[in-house]
Amino acid sequence: MIVKLKLLTPLNTQKLYIISVSGGVDSMALLDYLFHRKIPLIVVHFNHLMREEAILDKELVFNYCQTKNIPFHYFELDLPKKDFQNQASLFRKKRLKEIAVKYETRYCLTAHHLDDLAETIFLKMIRGSSLLGYSGVQPSYREDDIFFLKPFLYLPKEELIRYAVEKKIPFLEDRTNGLNIYTRNKIRNQIIPLLKEERHFLKNMEKFHQQTTEAHDFIRSQSRLFLSQQTLSEVWDLEAFLLLHIAVQKDILLTSLEDKKISKNFTLINNIIKGLQNRYKPNAEWDLNNEWFLIKQYDQLLWQKKILLVQENLVKPLLYGCVEPKLLSFCQEQKILFYDEGKIKFPLVLKQKRDGDMVKFPFGTQKLKKFLINKKIPLSKRKKLWLVVDQNNTVLWIPHLYINQTLGKTKTFNLGINSV
């Protein structure tokens, strides 16, 4: 029976492609298939230095490239064993991008197939992921202006093996793939074979992948629409955000965390959503990492870099006071304080806001914190407020916000303040 392979992503004979070839059946089948269709190729082979026989993989790929006159590049991965799989993936991707830049092309190919896709879906379900992550491997994606393509993604490995045998394509199998030392290997060797007993298992994995990808793409399009409608990229309309579907809200936060290279933590995202929905708490703050805060401030949601919020010590303004107002004409802010004899205990002091401070009105006394909330003063500004108080800690004046009008009317005292 003649095996006919069909690429998920059509390739162009006028473009150059960087292809990662391990020497296994999948990558060798892809290499041979593309070579015979006159697709221009540059081969990259990685040695993970985990097996003595890995040198045979290199020789196999090198010899194939030499006989076909295909440029060959070789890299060794001398990486620590801790988090090896992830670090190896990052290393390979980095080197592929470097080779693409060297040859002035924007396309890299890998030979992931349908069995790989099924393994990845189960692995993500075990470890937890986003909607896009649960869909498994993507047929194509763009990173640093380089496109990574997987043209065999919907082909079962069995078809690639039959194709390689039929075409007499040389390949070697990595014996460590049969060792259950990694979770992925356990899925590959123990779970997937069992599920394959169900006739349409792999086809249903393909459908699952398509449906979850389509759902993600729609949600992401709504996220991008919201972000495009914000006047400033780091200042969002909170009311408009809360009107969106919860799935879109979470995706907006997720993509923003990704863009700012903040660790994706779904517990954090759920806590943020809960805090944003709490209308009884108009101000809130989330410490995201060493660089970013997320701040809820009444009807706005702000992404604030920490460097802009760090204050070593607030510089204390200069306070002036006198009976004659003309003597304070040089002050940036002035106020007349009315009072009766004995109602103020001098000297006056300039201090920062503290918990427990009270402000007095003709109708009664109110906590300063509640007064500022009612005035919708953002939390970030409350921390910077300066208060003029007397020796009894009676709040007399908060520049721009408050003047005590409960002290009488028989005398006047003029207050002035200048920033240093």
Q: Which residues are annotated as a binding site for ATP?
A: 22-27
Closest C-alpha among 130, 120, 106, 287 to residue 187: 120
Phi and psi at 264, nearest 5°, equal -75, 115
Among candidates 167, 176, 185, which has minimal Cα distance to 119?
A: 185
C-alpha dist (Å) from residue 262 to 20, 269, 297, 301, 304: 29, 12, 21, 17, 13
Backbone angles phi, psi at 15, to 5 degrees: -115, 150
Query: Which residues fall in the annotated binding site?
Result: 22-27
Q: Are strands 140-143 and 107-109 parallel, antiparallel or unpaired?
A: unpaired
